[in-house]
Structure 1
Amino acid sequence: MRFRHADAVRAAYPELSAGVLYATGVGATADTRQRAAAHTARAVARLERATEGEFPEVLAWRRTLTRMGVKPTRYRCASESLLRRLRKEGALPAVHPLVDLCNAISVAYAVPVAVLDVDRITGPLLEVRPALGDETYTAFGGGVEHPVPGEVTYVDSANRSHARRWTHRQSGHSAVGAHTDRVLVVAEAMHEGGADSVAQVMKTIEEEVAAHWGATTATAVLTRETPEFVFGG
């Protein structure tokens, strides 16, 4: 299977930095609570000095969403939503050991991190591209939506959308659950210095996956020159 950002996305958003990780053998029995708490603590300390709306990482995504025609304070990028929840409620929701860990790393670096169940994606291509409007998106509540034409989304070979408004919300169809074994993790940043942040995020996730699952992983940092990641078998 292949994952890539479409040339149109790269051209419209040249500041994009992205990293990907593929892992197998990632079950739901690992206990990641201690490590997730350590990463979340970094975010809490930062939120004591400023609100998430002042973070350069968040401001960069707000500008990106605005350019895409989306109101950024209504449809926030995933890391901003998590940081906002953490600031207001003091904790993040428990979903799945890997998702909880990636959410904690996401708030620690203020960078959106998507975790998708590979076995719920139809290959051979998962592409981040502008929507045509006929793609099918399954919400977490089970309802079916269609992305707005031009909206950046993740689209597989069955024309299924796996995200709305780029980094705003993932699909319920490919959400990680109790039976997930193979995952694709994607981190995307738009701020100055984003390449360094993404590299650190992916290194951290890779180390945590190895420590908790001993899982087989493959990672890559994607660029305009090397926009594609081949994974799976």
Structure 2
Amino acid sequence: MKPAIVMEEITKRYGKGSTTVDALRGVNMAVYPGEVIGLIGASGSGKTTLLQCLGSIIDPTAGRMELGGEAIFDNGWLIKDVRAFRRDKIGFIFQFAYLIPFLTNLENVMMPMLLAGQPDKSAHQRAMELLTVLDIADKAEFKPYQLSGGQAQRVAIARALSNNPPVILADEPTAPLDSQKSLMVVDLLNKLANQYGTAIIVVTHDEVIIPTFKRLYRIREGVVYEEKGEGREISA
């Protein structure tokens, strides 16, 4: 099976001369469709920089990247419209849900599809499908402020999946949740990755969920090391 995410010798350098900082140093990584992997490391180790490079938010200094089987960077961007690629091919989940407060939960999930040019009817159908899969369809017409933290993250996950991206990048998605809800979120991510064939990277410090990953990448001072995870069964 071909990886959905490939990073080859990715570097990111800030500054020049005596102020140079190598935030990423020759990163190599591969994540396969349907796989959820953990990315761990101390604060300042380069996790956010790695995610931003992979998410086409910042430019790597050098190296090569593939997403969804498509080469997107080879010592320079190979795609014409980086913003459109990011919108259509990468789903993002953050520490907080960041739902648009004046839209309903259904409209929040529909928004990325409408921005991508999907007809209203098909966007509505896809959004309801995802909210149903995530067991929160009964809150479709509610506003975000009417949700609990765990419910809001479910809507955020639905939004990230809305354009059926091959890749989802999750940055501390369980940080504001208690242990039980954290495990529920990771369980959902695993089920959705398997169902939709999505490759998911989860950046986390959460000691509750780290043992659930079968594979881990640990980053230290910009260098990434692959580790075998425990793959502990989730009992949320």
TM-score, normalised with respect to structure 1? 0.31
Of the two structures, which has the highest relative contact order with CA contacts closer than 8 Å and spacing of 6 or more?
A: 1
* Structure of larger gyration radius: 2
